[in-house]
Chains A and B, each alone.
Chain A
Amino acid sequence: MSYFVVGYYALLIGASCLAAFYSKRQLFLLLFSLTLVSFIMGIVGGVPALWGVTICAGLLALAGGTSYAFREFLVIIAPREPAKELRTAPLTASFGMFVIFTYAIAGIFAPVIAPFGEAEVVSTAFAPADPQMLLGADQLGRDLFSRLVFGARNTVGIALLATLLAFLMGAVAGLLAATKGGWFDQLLGRIADVIMSIPSLIFALLMLSIFGTNLVVIVIIIAIIYAPRVFRLTRAVAGNVVVMDYIEAAKLRGEGTWYLIRKEILPNSTAPLIAEFGLEFCFVFLLISGLSFLGLGIQPPTADWGSMVRENATLISFGEITPLIPAAAIALLTVAVNFVVDWMLFRSSGLKG
């Protein structure tokens, strides 16, 4: 029984007693169930397991603190109306915004932040970390940290481009289908059905085997795969708007289709579309990373997180976490975007789930 274990349980039990005393019921439940779980984990895994729990709790607290501070910061610098909305944002959402902000900074200022170039060989293969190379070197002796920073620019940039293209195609088709209706609507609907009935990864692999793996092809293929989702949503949302009286009035005034879409329908259907954009980005990002991981996406020597995982995968059998770092970078961004989207959906639908 080390001091650590005694202190650990004393802290947990003390905190849960305090929570119970001040009748913070939820907090008490959380703390006390953590204590009970720790009993089991302590018996099975010993002291290291308890250390693991402590480190996780510390990280969570750090993340919570950061997101709280970031939210306050945003509330102060934002103009009045958005500030009111931001004040109600849950901590998860502000954590998401913080992560997205960090990634954006890393992506935009990549050449300034990274100590070395993305394809620059600066050391021996798999060199361990030192003060110059924060995370060590990869299989060719390139600095992993620099590649990670450049990856924020390449991977996220390409995913963003593909999402934008998918969105453009899907939204325009959806709006046209909703306003025109008839056979045009039917035709687009059936095409969307067919594309959506093939699993996206399989479809992407089929197309890549035919057109080969270059960047333009990847972006276009992914845009085509994900456009039908946007199409369906836009069509459904716009379909609800199209039957409104003011659209009828605009039609009677003699306005054209393009005017209707731009001035009447679009402003009234932006909220769900923005949330969809976030979700869509997550799907596209995961698909591109998956393809790169399979060696069929973004090609070397471009720094890209998916292929970095693949290149360094052998290290995992020596108990190194190096290949996990780029994978974690992918997961973190997707989680962050999902958190923000969750909050937006909650806000726009008034959904009390």
Chain B
Amino acid sequence: MGDVFKLVLKRLGLGLITLLVISVLIFFAVELLPGDIAQAVLGQGATPENLAALREQMGLNDPAPLRYLNWLVGALQGDFGISLVSGERVSAAIGPRFVNTLFLASYAAVIAVPVSIVLGVIVALLRNSIFDRVANVLTLTSISSPEFFLGYILILYFAVKWGAFPAIASLGSDMSLAELLNRTFLPALTMVLVVTAHMMRMTRAAIINLLSSPYIEMAHLKGTPPWKVIVKHALPNAWAPIINVVALNLAYLVTGVVLVEVVFVYPGIGQLLVDAVSKRDFPIVQACCLIFAATFILLNLAADVGAILTNPRLRHPK
């Protein structure tokens, strides 16, 4: 057991280093600006006095490494500085929106994960049948469509033509959970469609890979009933790839959320990021990027650790 612990710890350390490198990248990317932030904010016509005042206010006169450390320490405590456009605290703008985004992503995940794993296993068992072919074409189509295409199709039918769900996901603070789930159904469904297709394909590939291994054939040959082959022989080995698939796709959800939020005008962090990019509000852009990257890395890390815990073979790297 000590081995596993060490291995997991090593992975965690590696993830932390990656995150640190990315934070450096995100911070110093802004330094690449022609001139500096103050120049970019105030534009070409700024007077030297204004520039100097803004530089003083933003602490731009300190050397870059020192500012980076300040920013990092602040970020760890949830303080990302002050928005250049609205002048409010970045953390105040991000906090509630981040909760909304997490809500949307977990809503989609709760629907997508069980559905896609069950469908993926079924399709794998029916491989090379006509259902498998149809499912292959459908999932490929769903993966290839941009999120906004699926989103607008859903709006057109579910919201405009049939009036079943609201098209715009505006959230109030005092809504009941049922109301909330109803309002966010269409954005969640859009993400479910994309992620389910991905997960189904990956689950199918993993299961087929497993079912073609010799020990499964052996189990068939010695007369084990098919359900027992699946439950007793295949499933224990299938956990590792399935956990991997789930974590990787949750990581994918994190990126997909940006486009979906814009389509449905959902008050989440993705929408905030897009607005901040077009207004060139760097503190918000940096904070959002850091949060997205951290979530992405965390989920990939979870995939790694899950694979190590469920697959003993990975515990002894060659």
Q: A interface vs B, CB < 8 Å? A: 26-27, 29-30, 92, 193-194, 197-203, 205-211, 282, 286, 289-290, 293-296, 306, 309, 313, 316-319, 321, 323-324, 327-328, 330-331, 334-335, 337-339, 342, 353
Q: Which of chain B's residues have a CB closer than 8 A to the CB of A317?
A: 155, 159-160, 167
A26→B131 CA distance, assembly (Å) = 9
Q: Assess whether B161 is in contact with A319, with CB atoms less than 8 Å apart.
A: yes
Out of A199, A296, A330, which one reaches B296, CB within 8 Å? A199
Least Cβ–Cβ distance between B129 and chain A, in angstroms: 7
Interface of A: prevailing SS: helix
- Chain A residue contacts of B21, Cβ below 8 A: 194
Q: In the complex the two chains form, what is the Cα distance from A335 to B138 in whole Å?
A: 10
- In the assembled complex, how far is the CB of residue A133 from the closest CB belonging to chain B, in whole angstroms? 22
Q: A24 vs B155: C-alpha distance in the bound complex, in angstroms?
A: 39
- Closest B residue to A199 using CB positions: B255
Chain A residues contacting B293 (CB-CB under 8 Å) are: 197-199, 202
Q: Is there an interface contact between B296 and A197, defined as CB atoms closer than 8 Å?
A: yes
Chain A's closest residue to B274 (CB) is A294
In the complex, what residue of chain B is closest to A29 when comparing beta carbons? B130
Contact A334 B32 (CB under 8 A): no
Bound-complex Cα distance A318 to B155 (A): 11
Q: A200-B255, A282-B144 are in contact. Are A194 and B277 (CB under 8 A)?
A: no
B289 within 8 A of A: yes
Cβ-defined contact, B255 with A324, below 8 A: no
Q: How far is the CA of A316 from the CA of B156 in the complex (A)?
A: 6
In-complex Cβ contact of A209 among B167, B255, B259, B277 (8 A):
B277
Contacts of B266-318 to chain A: CB distance below 8 A: 273-274, 276-278, 280, 282, 285-286, 288-289, 292-293, 296-297, 300
Q: A205: which of B149, B153, B273 is its contact (CB, 8 Å)?
A: B273
Residues of chain A contacted by B218 (CB below 8 angstroms):
none
Contact A338:B143 (CB < 8 A) given known A92-B137, A197-B297, A353-B208: yes
Q: How far is the CB of A99 from chain B (nearest CB, A)?
A: 11
Q: Is the CB of B144 within 8 A of A206?
A: no
- B277: min CB distance to chain A, Å: 4
* A238–B156 alpha-carbon span in the complex (Å): 48
Q: Provide the residues of chain B in CB contact with A296, threshold 8 Å.
A: 274, 277-278
Shortest Cβ distance from B144 into chain A, in angstroms?
4
18 further contact pairs, Cβ within 8 A, besides A30-B134, A295-B274, A317-B160: A29-B129, A92-B137, A194-B18, A194-B21, A198-B25, A198-B289, A199-B293, A201-B259, A202-B296, A205-B258, A205-B289, A206-B26, A206-B285, A206-B286, A330-B145, A331-B141, A331-B146, A338-B143
- Set of chain B residues within 8 Å of A295, measured between Cβ atoms: 274, 278
Q: Which of B22, B140, B159, B167 contacts A335, CB < 8 Å?
A: B140
Nearest-neighbour CB distance to chain B for A87, whole angstroms, equals 19
Interface contact B255-A202, CB-CB below 8 Å: yes
Q: Which of A199, A200, A295, A330 has the most CB of B within 10 A?
A: A199
The docked-state distance in angstroms from the alpha carbon of A286 to that of B144 is 8
Are B155's CB and A316's CB within 8 A?
Answer: yes
Q: CA–CA, A197 to B297, complex, Å?
A: 6
